[in-house]
Chain A
């Protein structure tokens, strides 16, 4: 049984009248891919940004890699990699120079070309961030989270807005990261994505966790309760058709 690398206890975040996070408790195990699922506005991003030490909490306790977010935010920042749902990169400099910048920000010397190769952007080293396609932008974002060889990587809706091919590319990348021993915390509102990718998921609604387990267990539980799909499922779905017709390889749209 792996140790808990993140522990969240009774976390609450209140804005004026709105309670975005309403007493959430969960823990993430070292080496797993943990999913926070839920509709828009459920409190996923807020929870994530509090753990990432980017946002103040109202109450509760959070420890990351044994450090408290209240006392050692900078120790935590050195051990985690953060991909924000919406983030910008420094204007007018190319990808290689961006990585150089982050290498300095983390005090971690890196081979920028090797890093870019890792996410399939080796030939884009001299391009600007804004010139990249949606999928390439997300891969680059993930790349910046890996610079400090983090223990945990946080990915906030990394596949939103991507086409099926780009989504699969990113899944492969995320699995690679986990296979190298890094814990991954991911938010998404695509259930198929969570089902294929995550070892365990927490389903969040209105600031509360309403279910937490592995996708398989959650599905079995529903089926055991007598749930049946209204229509017999075929052996393939439309996405499978689309992918078999258009190919699955990494494409730079």
Chain B
């Protein structure tokens, strides 16, 4: 009597994937969070050119501007002299951090062989003021060296003495070899990619399964012969395809519009997509947990944010983990997104292969095991 062909779970699963993919394309939140958000960030940061450092300084009005040193400083390109300001105004701006230093050049008693130069800085501009000091110090050294050379010609005896001593004078020269330019986009794009994968995995999965359960779509599916695990696989597959298309688009835009470095071309892009897929699978586990523990629709965002926000801030999405104090770095070094971002950057910029990423993949995999263990416990079908 039973002549019906064998039931294919795979076929049923693909039907779910297709419906889910269609639904996602038409759902504003999937498109906005998965694609638009990362693109906006990449645009914003893509246009920031790393450029040269500019240091805003002012010359104290009682300075002596006839000396060589002043001329030398004036011709140093990084120093931007702000003109026509009273001393009070200068001090005020320095305190507010809008000036990096006030420079005072003095030759108190005319004819003195030493030109006195003073750099006044404030805590308001700590990083840059240090650079001003070193730039001015450089100029002073160059000046002194020049004088010394002139002097040595007229004093051969003193030179001989110096040559024979064990403590010769030192002169600094610098050189540069051509290197790979690390652009802002090379840092920002992998971070944004990682974060879009995280939020799509957590938010997308949590919302979809919560609402399919709540609106009894799942119950209707249960009345058909598909197995429950294939429902999950079908949903996961469509999200994977959707997010990988989005990731490919992000990488392509970065490459063609902002010069994002793909060190080995297509292979690098493909490796990045593979990493994105691994990351997404792990992050979807968080989504399953969230969909299981959320009591109603409005509790999903706060719970999902607990998962995503710390990683957004601490996993090297916008700035390197290295800038954090040690205790914060310790937290960063536990979060899975840190390792995904790290792996993505290593692949894109250093051309690392998967075998060189075993430490990163190991941590991500460990998270996967832990989170799916929890997902199995917390996930609810009804």
Question: Which A residues contact B (CB, under 8 angstroms)?
Answer: 52, 54, 74, 77-78, 82, 84, 86-93, 97-98, 100-107, 144
Chain B residues closer than 8 Å to A93, beta-carbon distance: 19, 22-23, 26
Contact status of A91 and B223, CB under 8 A, knowing A78-B4, A97-B22, A101-B16 = no
Q: Say whether, besides A91-B23, A100-B18, A105 and B217 are in contact (CB < 8 Å).
A: no
By the criterion CB–CB under 8 Å, are A107 and B219 in contact? Answer: no
Task: With a 10 A CB-CB cut-off, give which of A77, A82, A92, A98 has the most chain B CB atoms.
Answer: A92
Contacts of B8 in A (CB 8 A): 107
Whether the pair A90, B19 counts as a contact (CB closer than 8 A) is: yes
Q: Is the interface of B mostly helix, strand, loop or mixed?
A: helix
Option from A84, A88, A89, A104 in Cβ contact (under 8 Å) with B223: A84
Q: Which of A88, A97, A100, A104 has the most CB of B within 10 A?
A: A104
Complex Cα distance A90/B220, Å?
A: 10
Residue of A nearest to B221 (CB): A105
How many pairs of A and B residues are in contact by the CB < 8 Å rule?
85
When the two chains form their complex, are residues A74 and B215 in contact, meaning their CB atoms are under 8 A apart?
no
Residues of chain A lying within 8 A (CB to CB) of residue B5: 107
The CA of A104 and the CA of B223, in the complex, are separated in Å by 13
Whether B233 is near chain A, meaning CB under 8 Å from some CB there, is no
Closest to B9 in A: A107
A84 to B218, CA, bound (A): 12
- Tell me which residues across on chain B come within 8 A of A107, comparing CB atoms: 5, 7-8, 11-12, 225
Given contacts A97-B22, A101-B16, A104-B16, contact A54 B7 (CB under 8 A): no
Given contacts A101-B19, A103-B15, A104-B14, contact A88 B224 (CB under 8 A): no
Bound-state CA distance A68–B297 (Å) is 38
Closest 6 CB pairs of A and B: A104-B15, A88-B215, A82-B223, A92-B23, A105-B224, A101-B19
**Beyond A78-B4, A105-B224, 16 extra complex contacts between A and B, CB < 8 Å:** A52-B223, A86-B216, A87-B217, A88-B220, A89-B217, A91-B215, A93-B19, A93-B23, A101-B15, A101-B16, A102-B224, A104-B11, A104-B14, A104-B18, A105-B12, A105-B16
Interfacial residues, chain B to chain A (CB-CB below 8 A): 4-5, 7-8, 11-12, 14-16, 18-20, 22-24, 26-27, 211-212, 215-217, 219-226
Query: Which of B7, B19, B215, B226 neighbours the largest number of chain A CB atoms within 10 Å of its CB?
Result: B19
Residue contact A54 to B223, C-beta cutoff 8 Å: yes
A106 touches B26 (CB 8 A): no
Which of these, A74, A90, A100, A106, contacts B20 with CB under 8 Å? A90
The closest CB in chain B to the CB of A102 belongs to B224
Shortest distance between the CB of B4 and any CB in chain A (Å):
7
Pick the contact of B7: A74, A88, A100, A102 (CB < 8 A): A74
7 chain-A/chain-B pairs, Cβ below 8 angstroms: A54-B222, A78-B4, A84-B223, A86-B216, A87-B216, A91-B217, A101-B16
> How far apart sit A196 and B380, CA to CA, in the bound complex (Å)?
42
CB–CB B225/A97 < 8 A: no
Report the bound CA distance from A78 to B8 in whole Å.
12
Contacts of B224 in A (CB 8 A): 77, 102, 105-106
Give the residues in chain A near B26, CB-CB below 8 Å. Answer: 92-93
Given contacts A77-B223, A106-B225, contact A90 B12 (CB under 8 A): no
Chain B nearest CB, measured from A88 CB (Å): 3
Which residues of chain A have C-beta atoms less than 8 A from B220's C-beta?
Answer: 82, 84, 87-89, 144
Contacts of B221 in A (CB 8 A): 105
Shortest distance in angstroms between B18's beta carbon and chain A's nearest beta carbon? 7
* Whole-angstrom distance between the Cβ of A6 and the nearest chain B Cβ: 16
A73 to B8, CA, bound (A): 16
- How far, in angstroms, from A87 to B5 measured CA to CA in the complex? 28
**B226 and A105 form a contact (CB under 8 A):** yes
What A residues does B15 contact at CB under 8 A? 100-105
The residue that A84 contacts in the complex, of B20, B23, B219, with Cβ under 8 A, is B219
**List of A residues within 8 angstroms of B215 by Cβ:** 88, 91
